[in-house]
A and B are shown apart, each in its own frame.
Chain A
Amino acid sequence: MNLETKELTVDPRQWVSKYADYLYNYALTRLNDEDIARDLVQDTFLAALEKIQSFKGESSERTWLTAILKYKVIDIYRKKSATILLKPDVTQAEKEQDNFFNTEDGHWNAEHRPILLGVEDNDPLHNKELAHILQLCMHKLPALWLSVFTMKHVDGENTEMICTSLKLSTSNYWVIIHRAKLNLRACLQRNWS
C-alpha cells in the first residue's frame, strides 16, 4: 500500500512541467542571477533523481524539491560570503554607517536620524513606490547581509542554522542583522521623496 502511494506521488517525468517555473522563481528571487537560478533548477532535479528513494511521501513533491533547492541556494550564499567578506561591498557599507551614531554616547547623529516618511500609518504594504525603492535598496545590500536578512526574515530559518550554514559566529550574525536593517532603512529614507 505504502509503495503504491509512493509511486503515485513521485513522477519525475512531470517535474519540469509542474515545478520548473516555481523553482526557478524561488532561486531567482533569492539570488538575483538568471544563469545561476537556471543551473540550480537543473541541479535540483538531478540531485532529486539520485535520491528518489529517500522521498518518503511525507511532504508534497514540490516541498521536497524546494528543500533540495534551498540547500543549493544556501551553498551559493556560503560561497559568496567566503569570497566577499573582505571585499569592498561590506567594507564600504560598514563605512557608510560609521557616522550614523555619535561614537561617544551612541546617540543618532542629526543628519542620520530616522524621520517618519508619512507612509507608516497609511497602508505601507500596498504602496508601490515604497516597494520599488525597497527593492532597489535590497539590491544594493552587500551579498552576505542580504543572504542573512533573507534567510531570517523571509524564510524564517532559525539563527543556529543560519550561523552554521554561513559559518558565522553568533555575535557576527547579530551585527549583520543590525547593520542590514540600518542600511535598508537609511536607504529608504534617502530615496523617499
Chain B
Amino acid sequence: MGELKKIAYNCKKATLLIEKKQITLLTLREKLELKIHLAGCSVCRTFEKQSIMINELVKKLFDEANQKELHLDNDYKTALQQEIETRLNN
C-alpha cells in the first residue's frame, strides 16, 4: 500500500493529526494526508467536531470555575494574615 493510501485508511493516525492541528502547524504533507483522510471518513469528521467542542468546553469550564467565588476558610485566612504580618514586622 502506498503511503497516502495508508493514511486514507488509518483513523488512529488521522485522530492524532486532528489533535496536532489544534496545537501546532501541520507540515504540508500532514495537511494533505489529513485532508484526504477526512474527505473519505465521516467517523473522523465526527471525531474532529467533538474534539474541538471538548477543547472549547473545557476552557469554558475552567474560566467559570476561576470566577466562581469558592472561598478559602476564614480561620485559614486569618492565620495567613497573621503570618504575613509577623514576617513583615521582623
Binding site for B on A (CB under 8 A): 12-13, 15-17, 20-22, 24-26, 28-29, 38, 41-42, 45-46, 49, 100-101, 105-108, 113-117, 120, 124-125, 130-131, 134-135, 138, 149-150, 152-154, 159, 174, 177-178, 181-182, 184-185, 188
Q: Bound state CA distance, A117 and B57, in angstroms? A: 15
Question: Do B87 and A49 touch (CB < 8 A)?
Answer: yes
Q: In the complex, which residues 1-36 of chain B have their Cβ closer than 8 Å to any Cβ of chain A?
A: 9-13, 15-16, 19-20, 23-24
Question: Do A181 and B58 touch (CB < 8 A)?
Answer: no
Closest to B65 in A: A29
Q: In the complex, which residues 58-84 of chain B have their Cβ closer than 8 Å to any Cβ of chain A?
A: 58-62, 65-66, 68-73, 76-77, 80-81, 83-84
Min CB gap A103→B, angstroms: 9
Which among B43, B65, B84 is the interface contact of A12 at CB below 8 angstroms?
B84
Which among A15, A115, A125, A138 is the interface contact of B60 at CB below 8 angstroms?
A125
Which B residues are CB-close (under 8 A) to A13? 81, 84-85, 88
- Apart from A28-B70, A49-B84, A185-B54, list 9 A-B contacts with CB within 8 A: A17-B81, A21-B71, A26-B66, A106-B10, A116-B46, A117-B50, A125-B56, A153-B55, A178-B16
Question: Do B15 and A178 touch (CB < 8 A)?
Answer: yes
Name B's interface SS: helix
Which B residues are CB-close (under 8 A) to A26? 66
**How many A-B Cβ pairs are below 8 Å?**
129
Question: Do A159 and B23 touch (CB < 8 A)?
Answer: yes
Which B residues are CB-close (under 8 A) to A185? 47, 50-51, 54
Which among A28, A29, A181 is the interface contact of B51 at CB below 8 angstroms?
A181
Q: Bound state CA distance, A188 and B60, in angstroms? A: 17
Question: Do A154 and B51 touch (CB < 8 A)?
Answer: no
Question: Do B47 and A114 touch (CB < 8 A)?
Answer: yes
Question: Do A177 and B23 touch (CB < 8 A)?
Answer: yes
Question: Do B80 and A45 touch (CB < 8 A)?
Answer: yes
* Contact of A46 with B83 at beta-carbon distance under 8 Å, contacts A25-B66, A106-B13 already known: yes
Q: Bound state CA distance, A100 and B77, in angstroms? A: 48
* Contact of A124 with B53 at beta-carbon distance under 8 Å, contacts A15-B84, A25-B68 already known: yes
Question: Do B43 and A108 touch (CB < 8 A)?
Answer: yes
